[in-house]
Amino acid sequence: MLMKRVKEVVAFARASVGEVTRGSAAYYRWLAFLGVLLALGGLAWVHQLREGMAVTAMTDQVPWGAYIANFSFTVGLASGALVLVALSYLRRDKALGELVIVGQVMAIASLTMGMLFVVVDIGRPERAWHLIPMIGRFNFPISMLSWDVVVLNGYLLLNFYLATYTLLARFRGRPLNGKKYFPVLAGAIVWAISIHVVAAFLYCGLSGRSHWHAAVLAPRVVASAFGSGPAMLILVLNVLRSRMKVPVRDETLALLRNIVTGAVWANLFLFGAEVFTEFYGGSLHAAPLRYLLFGLHGHAKLVPYAWLAVALNLFSAAVFSIGALHRRHRVLIAACCATIVGMWIEKGMGHVIPGFIPSSLGEIVEYSPSLNETLVCAGVWAAGALLLTLMLKVAVPIEFGGLRMRGGSAEASP
Amino acid sequence: MAPSARITACALLAALAGACGDKPRAMRPAPDAGSVTVLARAAQIATYPCMERCHARRAPDPTPRAMREFHTGRVLNHGPTIRACSFCHDSADLDHLRLITGEHVSFDEAYRVCGQCHAEKLRDWDRGIHGAQSGSWAGERLRRSCPACHDPHTPQRPMFDPLPPPAHDRAHPPGASHS
Amino acid sequence: MSCNEDPELAAALERAQVTRRNFLATATVAAAAVATGCGNHGAVWEEYFQQHYKRLTDDDKRAIFARLEDEVRRRRGLRVHISDPAPMRGVEYGYALNLSACVGCRRCEYACAAENNTSRDPEVHYIKVLQMESGSIDVERSDSRYEGPVPAPGHFYMPVQCHQCRDAPCVKACPVGATWTEPDGITVVDYNWCIGCRYCEAACPYFARRFNFSEADIRPSEINPDQGYLSNRARPAGVVEKCTFCLHRVRRGEYPACLEACPTGARKFGNLLDPESEVRQVIDHKRVYVLHEEAGTAPRFYYFFD
């Protein structure tokens, strides 16, 4: 029994290696591009490890920068990716069910990025073992960061299990065992919300930071995740349809589009509510939002980005709401990109940096990432994209191409 | 809840919070009640003892005037009513100060003279609220008498330059403007 | 009055013993290193697997202090003494600061840096003196980079440092329990346990925590050799540090360095549980206020005017 399992896994691994090493020139160019970015990012990280965090642009006044901004966003992507899974589960739709693997794979890639962003952010990554309960000293359940560690790792495990279980079953030509699959799937769907709520609670639990200390933060963050995640899925599914001949139905894309529409409007509504609350009363707590949108005492580094995000979100809201616009393929793609970039600014730097400006002692110290930080970020994004590409390269032939195990070795069937 | 269940629950929570394996914290005994000492001052006055050095041979001039011969640095500018040395100094015994009641007071107890007008400050000083101190918070607290910090002849203090803001502050690189 | 004499004497005796013990230890280690040709790899692993402060036995601590002292001697050519005075029973430290008296001279800032061996480049100060505008206690209208003669008309000065909160948000935030509040109310950091995530910096409403973006740059001649394990000993790069009310001084009965440096007597320190202490006298007889009280952190640091 055990030997059989080992053989299956070996066959699966060999088939995977076969798949990822086979591809068009464009595929190899894409891999090479990601490889170069990854190498640059890796070198920049080594530089940071040797020289210390001094090579970043962070300060004691702004102790979190591009890394944590990207972390927040990628966690959103990870939970948004599960929308597809939730839809197929709720609608018992077979065609949707086949695409579930794409959502899971995207969740895994996004989560890996999120975790890498934390790894590159901490000053002493080699001490990560201090987080292990009992052996280290895990401050659970007091620290919200400890909750984050739990939910992120749990979510990664759930998705890893679901993806590998599905792929292995298909690879072996066996049907999915519902008892081993659906409870975990249901868990993952609930868990998807929790990872983003906890990521929001990281911020709104801080009573000393007025900008974050708001109940609207969690719903806003979830809304943006349900915008950027499905928008990214639409892009990925389009690439799969055109490049890998994956049968993606228009109804599926329409479903995702509707979710993005709702999420984008919800996010804009919550943003408006926040703007009103902060500015109408005119309390001093509005300073961070004022810094973000209008600048404070002549400091306005984030202002153009903040308005760019507002413009992009308005643009995507318009496109997603007006049929004449989103029926055009190119406009839809542009709107998806606008959603992703808009949310990335808004839930990334636009969310993290103003929390520190002005500082708790009223100082205005601005922040923009250093070159080294930017390279590390690019490297992490490249790692995520690479992981996503490779996983899809294996998953798609198994799910749609009929790649099956045969007598211990694997080959693609026509 | 049964005690065993409570203990289990506590242990579980402690383990979750990472507190397992903690060694008991060693504590030292509480400090005794401290004491307060007012630092003696007379001996620190350059021209003290005044009688032996000069004034036994030369009686002080009681008229308010600019000092030209001795004590030339002294400018008396302490409120509207104090116009003569004899307001605080005992003209007959210059080794002592003098209260309004006529009582002799040692230079070490100059605060009693000040406290005649500045009663609230004296009270705060007595409580340790006003004035710099040194020594030990848990043992002998050393207090300084008023003239150690305030020149009783000209109590106004001029403005002065502070130490500079940190020059190599990471958040404020040299050359960058600040608000 | 024994309290401030005994610990000093004990500390002096201990210092003498430790020096002797260290000499032997160093000699042994040196001999072993020469014999095996493996340098100090053992120490590196020892440090890597070092347990959390609260799980260390007295023997563990002695070995660690010796290792750290030895490291400073090897790297900086300097003899330092690392101690770890225990908290006293019935003592909870508190601080009061007289805003009517402070003139903004920044002596406390620099005395603190000298006492606590904070980095000179980048320059790390635990204390920030804010030049406030008359008529407002809004820190946003303050300036911490002020120059020119002080006290400037139309302004007052508010030094800010760690408020040693009773409900410290930094302690709650830390995912690995590397920062905690000692029984006498001082919040400390285990520099060998902190992972450098800076969540505590985000959580602190008083800008009290500092991150070592690089290893402290400080000339050996300026290093204060009287060091506390939980306070001013050498910090590695990538970890957070903070004001500890000069833990290594105050647990011996001394005043914090910032207080001793203050020329105006604006700073008051003592045992909050002792009604005769200066800080209690201030709280009992003056009208005090707490900075950012709405954050709910319940600081042990009070401001007052008189």
Q: Which of A59, A142, A363 sits opposite B17 (nearest CB)?
A: A142
Dist CA A135 CA C51 (whole Å): 9
pLDDT (tens digit per residue) in C59-68: 999 999 999 9
Average pLDDT over every residue of A200-204: 95
Q: Do B33 and C148 touch (CB under 8 A)?
A: no
**C-alpha span between C290 and C296 (Å, rounded):** 10
CA angle A374, A378, A383 (to 5 degrees): 150
The answer to whether the CB atoms of C139 and A361 lie below 8 A apart is yes
The DSSP code for B79 is: T
Domain assignment present for A93: yes
Structural domain contains residue A243: yes
pLDDT at B40 over 80: yes
What pLDDT band is residue B67 in, cutting at 50, 70 and 90?
confident
Instruction: Give the C-alpha distances (Å, rounded to integers) separating C113 from C72, C255, C258.
Output: 19, 15, 9
* 8 A C-beta contact, residue C282 and residue C268: yes
User: Above 60 in pLDDT, residue B45?
Assistant: yes
Pair (C242, C271) in one structural domain:
yes
Residues C256 and C245 sit within 8 Å (Cβ to Cβ): yes
CB B133 within 8 A of CB B141: yes
B171/A365 Cβ within 8 A: yes
In a domain, B153, yes or no: no
Looking at the predicted structure, is the pLDDT value of residue C12 above 70? no
So what's the pLDDT on residue B7?
A: 65
pLDDT at residue B114 tops 90: yes
Task: Please indicate, yes or no, if residue B64 is contained in any of the structural domains.
Answer: yes
Query: Which residues partner with A412 through β-bridges?
Result: A403
Whether the CB-CB separation of A128 and C193 falls below 8 Å is answered with: no
Predicted confidence at residue C258, as pLDDT, reads 98
Could you write out the three-class secondary structure of chain C? CCCCCHHHHHHHHHHHHHHHHHHHHHHHHHHHHHHHCCCCHHHHHHHHCCCCHHHCCHHHHHHHHHHHHHHHHHHHCCCCEEECCCCECCCCEEEEEECCCCCCCCHHHHHHHHHHCCCECCECCCCEEEEEECCCCCHHHCECCCCCCECCCCEEEEEECCCCCCCCHHHHHCCCCCEEECCCCCEEECCCCCCCCCHHHHHCCCCCEEECCCCCCCCHHHCCCEEECCCCCCCCCCCEEECCCCHHHHCCCECCHHHHHCCCCCEEEEECCCCCCHHHHHHHHCCEECCCHHHCCCCCEEEECC
Q: How far apart are CA C121 and CA A62, in angstroms?
A: 18
The Cα–Cα gap between B32 and B30 comes to 7
Interatomic CA distance for residues B56 and C73, integer angstroms: 61
**Residue B176's pLDDT is what?**
60
Residue C80 reports pLDDT greater than 90: yes
Residue at B177 is within a domain: no
- The verdict on residue B20 lying in a domain is no
Same domain assignment for residues C239 and C295: yes
What's the domain range around B136?
32-148
Closest CA to B137 of A335, C278, A286, C66: C278
* Position C1 in a domain: no
Q: What is the CATH number of the domain that holds C208?
A: 3.30.70.20
Q: What b-and-e string marks burial along B59-93, b requiring 16 or more CB atoms within 10 Å of the CB?
A: ebeeeeeeeeeeeeeeebebeeeeeebebbbbeee
C144 and C22 share one domain:
no
Query: Which token pair is A9?
Result: 């896994």
Q: Read off the DSSP letter of residue B22.
A: P
The answer, for B80 touching chain A at a CB cutoff of 8 Å, is: no
Nearest chain B residue to C4 by CA: give it: B139
Q: Is the pLDDT of residue C6 over 60?
A: no
* Domain contains C285: yes
pLDDT at residue C33 tops 50: no
Range of the domain at A355: 2-401
Tokens of A261: 């529409």
Q: Read off the pLDDT of residues B116-169 as tens digits, 9 standing for 90 and up.
A: 999 999 999 999 999 998 999 999 999 999 999 999 999 999 999 999 999 999
Chain A CA closest to residue C141: A362
CB contact under 8 A, C210 and A359: no
Q: Output the pLDDT for position C27.
A: 46
CB contact under 8 A, C195 and A359: no
Separation CA A30–CA A244 (nearest Å): 15
Q: Do C207 and A359 touch (CB under 8 A)?
A: yes
Three-state DSSP class for A406? Answer: strand
Chain A partners of C239 at a C-beta cutoff of 8 Å?
A: 123-124
**8 A C-beta contact, residue A81 and residue A228:** no
| A368: closest CA of chain B, how far (Å) | 12
Looking at CA atoms only, how far is residue A142 from chain B in angstroms?
A: 7
The structure tokens 């934390």 sit at: A118
Question: Does some domain include residue A135?
Answer: yes
Q: Which domain-ending residue is among C26, C47, C79?
A: C79
Residue of chain B nearest C142, judged by CA positions: B179
State the count of interchain CB pairs (< 8 A) between A and B.
33
Q: Tell me the C-alpha to C-alpha distance, in Å, between residue B26 and each of B33, B145, C57, C228, C248.
A: 22, 39, 10, 16, 15
Tens digits of per-residue pLDDT, C121-158? 999 999 999 999 999 999 999 999 999 999 999 999 99
Average pLDDT over residues C231-249: 97
Same domain, C294 and C165: yes
C240-242 and C209-211: which strand pairing? antiparallel
Chain-wide mean pLDDT for chain A? 93
Chain A: residue whose CA lies nearest to C158: A361
B72-81, C34-43, C90-99 — which is least confidently predicted?
Answer: C34-43
Which pLDDT belongs to residue C23? 44
In 3D, which of A313, A309, A314 has the Cα closest to residue A349?
A: A309
* Long-range contact set of residues C280-283: C-beta below 8 Å, sequence gap at least 24: C280/C94, C281/B127, C281/B128, C281/B129, C282/B129, C282/C96, C282/C98, C283/C94, C283/C96
- Distance (Å) from the alpha carbon of A112 to chain B's nearest alpha carbon: 25
Whether B73 is in a domain gets the answer yes
Interface check B15 vs A, CB under 8 A: yes
Q: For residues A264 and A317, what is the distance between their CA atoms, to the nearest angstrom?
A: 6
Give the model confidence (pLDDT) of A101-156 as tens digits.
999 999 999 999 999 999 999 999 999 999 999 899 999 999 999 999 999 999 99
For residues C117 and C132, state if they share a domain.
Answer: yes
User: What pLDDT does residue B15 have?
Assistant: 61
Same domain, C171 and C265: yes
Cβ–Cβ below 8 Å for A140 and B16: yes
When pLDDT is averaged across residues A156-175 and rounded to a whole number, the result is: 92
Q: In what order do the strands lie in the sheet with C93-98?
A: C267-271, C93-98, C301-304, C288-289
Question: Domain span at residue C110?
Answer: 86-306
Both C65 and C157 in one domain: the answer is no
User: What's A254's domain CATH number?
Assistant: 1.20.1630.10
pLDDT score of C17: 44
Q: With 60 as the cut, is the pLDDT of residue C7 above it?
A: no
> Looking at the structure, do residues C226 and C179 belong to the same domain, yes or no?
yes
Residues C274 and C166 in one domain: yes
Please provide the size of chain A in residues.
414
- Quick check: is B165 in a domain? no
Domain count, chain C: 2
pLDDT surpassing 80 at residue A407: no
C-alpha A249: how far from chain center:
24
In a domain, B174, yes or no: no
pTM, 2 dp: 0.91
Q: What pLDDT, in 10s, does the model give residues A65-102?
A: 999 999 999 999 998 888 888 888 888 877 788 889 99
Number of domains comprising chain A: 1
> Would you give the DSSP letter of residue A378?
H
| Residue A87 included in any domain | yes
Which residues in chain B touch residue C149, judged by CB atoms under 8 angstroms apart?
A: 159-161
The pLDDT assigned to A405 comes to: 86
Q: What's the gap in Å between the CA of A158 and the closest CA on chain C?
A: 23
Q: Are residues C196 and C96 in the same domain?
A: yes
Q: Do B136 and C254 touch (CB under 8 A)?
A: yes
B78 vs B42: CA distance, rounded Å = 21
**Structure token pair of residue A93:** 């739709």
Q: Which distant-in-sequence residues (6+ apart) come within 8 Å of C122 by Cβ?
A: A54, B168, B169, B170, C213, C214, C217
Instruction: Please check whether residue A409 lies inside any domain of the structure.
Output: no
Predicted pLDDT of residue C4: 38
User: Does B56 map to a domain?
Assistant: yes
Please give the pLDDT value at position B174. Answer: 81
Could you give the CA distance from residue A384 to residue A361 in angstroms, rounded to a whole number? 38
Q: In percent, how much of chain C has pLDDT > 90?
A: 84
Indicate the number of domains in chain B: 1
Do C110 and C237 lie in a common domain?
yes
ipTM: 0.93
Cβ of B18 and C176 within 8 Å?
Answer: yes
Structure tokens at C177: 């329990």
Give the residue with greater pLDDT, B68 vs C268: C268
Burial A164-192 (b: 16+ CB within 10 A, else e): ebbbbbbbeeeeeeeeeeeebbeebbebb
* Average pLDDT rounded to a whole number, residues B75-91: 90
Section C165-169 average pLDDT = 97
- Closest-CA residue of chain A to C240: A123
Clarify whether residues C90 and C194 are in a common domain: yes
Rounded distance between C-alpha atoms, residue A164 and residue A179, angstroms: 16
In this complex, do A61 and B171 lie within 8 Å of one another by their Cβ atoms? yes
B94-106: b (≥16 Cβ within 10 Å) or e:
bbbbbeeeeeebe
The C-alpha of B10 sits at a distance from chain A's nearest C-alpha, in angstroms, of: 13
Is residue A316 less than 8 Å (CB to CB) from chain C? no
